A = this chain, B = another copy of it.
C-alpha cells in the first residue's frame, strides 16, 4: 500500500496575502467546491476573527456540504494575559462552525519578546490554553508553529517547548512553518531529524518560497515523515509565495510513490491551476512546472524531432498525467495541431483533410492571432464553428449602437445610456435604456429590442464579466478581451469578445451570449 500524505490548501487565507491576490466571497465558495471535488483533505477558508468577509464566508459555507475536504478556520492563539473563553479570536473560531481549527503560535523566542512583546512562559501558556480550550469544541485542532526553523536555530529548547505544549494540550497535528521562507533544504532536514525524536504527534510542513526552495523543502519534509503538506495553488502567498501545491502534488504522486489526491484530481491540475489564476485575475505563469503552457513546449529542432519519436527523451513526465499537453513551438504545423487539439477538447473531431475543418481552422487561427482565447468561452467557440461552416443564421442584425456616459459635477453620479438599432424578423427595433455602466446599459437596450420577439431571454442573466488587457504596456490604447458568463437557471455558458475598444469587445461577447441562448432554445 502506498503511503498517504494529506494536502492542506491555504490559498484562501495565506494565498490572499500575496500582492494583488484577492477573492470575492463568491470566488471563495467556488474555489472551495473545486478543491473539495479534486480531493484536497483540508481547505483553510480564512481567519474569522480578523475580518468580517472571512466570517461571512464561514457562515455561507454552513449551507454547503463538502464531500471530501474538511474546512479549517485559522487564528492566532489567545491574547497575552487574557482569558481564553472570552478571547474574540477564539470565540470567532468556534462561531465559524468549521470542523477544523488551525492555531498559529510563536516558536521563535525573539518573536515572542520583540514582536508579541510578552514573556516566553506566557507564550507557551497561550499555546497550551488555546489548544486545550478548542480541543473539545472542534473535530480537529492543528498547531502551526510559526517561524519554527528560525526559532530552532535561535533557541532550540524553547522552540521544542512550544511544540510539546501543543502536543500536551491535544493538538492533532504539529505543523512546522518556515514563515520567512529562507531555510534551505539541507538545514531543514537536519532540524526535522532532531525534532522527530522529541514529538509523537503527526507533523506537517508549511514553507514559503523566499529562497526559491519551497517545493524542495516540502518534498524533503515528506521524505522525513511529514504526513501533511500545506501550500497554495500556483504558490500564491505573501512576498514570494507559499509552497506551490500544483508542483508538490504531482512530484509526490508521480515521482515519490506517495498518494495524496485521487488520480482523476491529478489530471485536473492544469485546469484547476488556470481556474484559480482566472479568479485571482492573475496572468497564468507560462513556465509553471507541470501545468504551464511552456512546461511541455519544445522549441529546439533536435528536441522536437526526438520528442516526436520518443516523448520521454525531453519530457520528465507524461503531460496528460496533470492534464497538460505537448506543444511544438517552431513549425507552422504546430499551430494546426494546437487547434485540432483544442477542437477535440470541445468534442469536435476535425482532421486535416476535409474542407470544413480547414475553414474552421483558418477562422480560428485568424481569431487567435487577434487575441481571442476560447478557454472558458465554449459558447463562442461553438458559434465560431457554425459561422465558419456557413450554417449560421443570426437571430438579429445590428444596424447601430451608441453608448453615452456622462458626468455633471453638479449631480456627482455618472449616467450611462445606450441606444440600439437592430433588425429582428424583418422589423427595425430602436430602443434606449440606462444602466450602471456602459455595458449594462447596452445589455438593457438590446434586451428591450429582443425580448418581445424572444421571450425566453427573460430567463437569462449575466453572471460574470471579466476584462483582461492584452499587451498591457500600451495602457488604455491596448487590446481588450472580455469574457462573459451567462446562465438561465439550467445551463451556464461563456462567451468572448476582443477589440481595441472595450465597449465593442463587450458587445461581441454580449451578442454571442444571446445568440447561444436563442440557438439552444430553438
Contact = CB atoms under 8 A, between A and B. Distances in A.
Interface of A: 16-20, 22, 24, 26-27, 50-51, 53, 110-111, 114-115, 179-182, 184-186, 209-213, 215-217, 219-220, 223, 235, 238-241, 244, 247, 251, 255-256, 281, 286-290, 292-300, 302-303, 305-306, 309-310, 312-317, 329, 331-333, 373, 375-376, 397-409, 414, 416, 435-440, 443, 461-473, 475-478, 480, 484-486, 499-504, 506-507
18 contacts: A16-B333, A17-B333, A19-B293, A180-B315, A398-B407, A399-B409, A400-B406, A403-B438, A435-B477, A437-B477, A437-B504, A438-B501, A462-B475, A463-B473, A467-B467, A467-B502, A476-B484, A502-B502
A444 B475 CA distance: 13
A461 B24 CA distance: 32
A205 B185 CA distance: 17
Contacts of A217: 216
Nearest to A14: B300
Contact of A476 (B405, B439, B473, B477): B439
Given A24-B473, A472-B466, A414 B478 contact: no
A211 B373 contact: no
A117 B507 CA distance: 46
A216 B295 contact: no
A19 B211 contact: no
Contact of A313 (B115, B220, B292): B115
Nearest to A246: B212
Given A216-B185, A477-B440, A297 B407 contact: no
Contacts of A53: 332
Contacts of A406: 400-403
Given A375-B20, A435-B477, A473-B24, A310 B114 contact: yes
A475 B469 contact: no
Given A212-B247, A473-B26, A501 B289 contact: no
Contacts of A309: 114-115
A473 B185 CA distance: 39
Nearest to A422: B409
A298 B240 CA distance: 11
Nearest to A293: B19
Contacts of A403: 403-406, 438
Contacts of A186: 219-220, 223
A292 B184 CA distance: 19
A356 B290 CA distance: 51
A129 B39 CA distance: 54
Nearest to A466: B469
A466 B502 CA distance: 12
Contacts of A316: 180-182, 210-211
A209 B295 CA distance: 9
Contacts of A212: 215-216, 244, 247, 251, 289
Given A17-B300, A465-B476, 20 more contacts: A24-B470, A27-B472, A114-B306, A185-B185, A186-B223, A211-B255, A212-B251, A235-B287, A238-B299, A240-B294, A240-B295, A405-B501, A407-B504, A414-B503, A436-B477, A437-B502, A462-B477, A463-B475, A467-B469, A476-B506
Given A316-B182, A404-B403, A19 B297 contact: yes
A270 to B, nearest CB: 13
Contact of A185 (B24, B219, B298, B437): B219
A5 B439 CA distance: 51
A397 B408 CA distance: 11
A502 to B, nearest CB: 5
Contacts of A305: 115
A503 B438 contact: yes
A210 B332 CA distance: 24
8 closest Cβ contacts across the A-B interface? A182-B316, A462-B475, A216-B216, A437-B501, A115-B306, A467-B467, A212-B247, A212-B215
A303 B286 CA distance: 31
Nearest to A285: B285
Contacts of A235: 287
Contacts of A331: 22
A507 to B, nearest CB: 7
Contact of A184 (B26, B51, B240, B256): B256
A484 B475 contact: yes
Contacts of A463: 473, 475
A240 B314 CA distance: 12
A134 B404 CA distance: 60
